[in-house]
Amino acid sequence: MSLEKRKPEMRIGYGWDSHEFRPGIPLKIGGMLLPHDKGLGGHSDGDVLLHAITDALLGAIAGPDIGALFPPSDPQWKNADSAVFLREALQRVKAAGYDVVNLDSTLILASPKIGPHADAIRKRVGELCGIPSDCVGVKAKTPEGMGTDNAAIANVAVLLKRAD
Ligand code: MG
């Protein structure tokens, strides 16, 4: 058996994000525009799910987090498409020698209902991450007893496997 130190065969990553609802702006979750009277505020497009996926990917390779790579203080990320952040994380995963296997997410928000849009979100996130939509979990809960009805929260776990 070789004593050569090999990279782990698999790596797990976890990401979390939250954004506040604001009236009069579009709602983007998982790269999809969803019909609603409020959107998620933030310096970029406020896509809470893509931000949590980006952080999960970066965490899996022990990289810098989304805020370090794309500081909110930098005007070039104002209203940015969050797919740009995700793409950078995916490039870093590839450069580290890993492929994405699957990811699972839980959204926590009072409204709108995610169920009717879950398949579309899984398909879009799968396209963005280069994995089949049946490797993308999208679950949603309402924030019972949490007092966060004006926020959307995303939790994401991602699994990577060594590319070689
Ligand atoms: Mg965010």
42 Cα–ligand 1 center, Å? 7
Containing domain of residue 66, as a range?
10-162
Q: Is 29 part of any domain?
A: yes
| 152 beta partners | 19
Say how far apart CA 45 and CA 27 lie, in whole Å. Answer: 8
38 Cα–ligand 1 center, Å? 16
* Total domains in the fold of the chain: 1
Q: In this structure, what CATH number is given to the domain that contains residue 25?
A: 3.30.1330.50
Q: Is 114 part of any domain?
A: yes
94 Cα–ligand 1 center, Å? 23
Q: Is 2 part of any domain?
A: no
Give, for all 164 residues of the chain, the pLDDT tens digit: 565 678 999 999 999 999 999 999 999 999 999 999 999 999 899 999 999 999 999 999 999 999 999 998 899 988 899 999 999 999 999 999 999 999 999 999 999 999 999 999 999 999 999 999 999 999 999 999 999 999 999 999 999 999 98
Q: Is 104 part of any domain?
A: yes
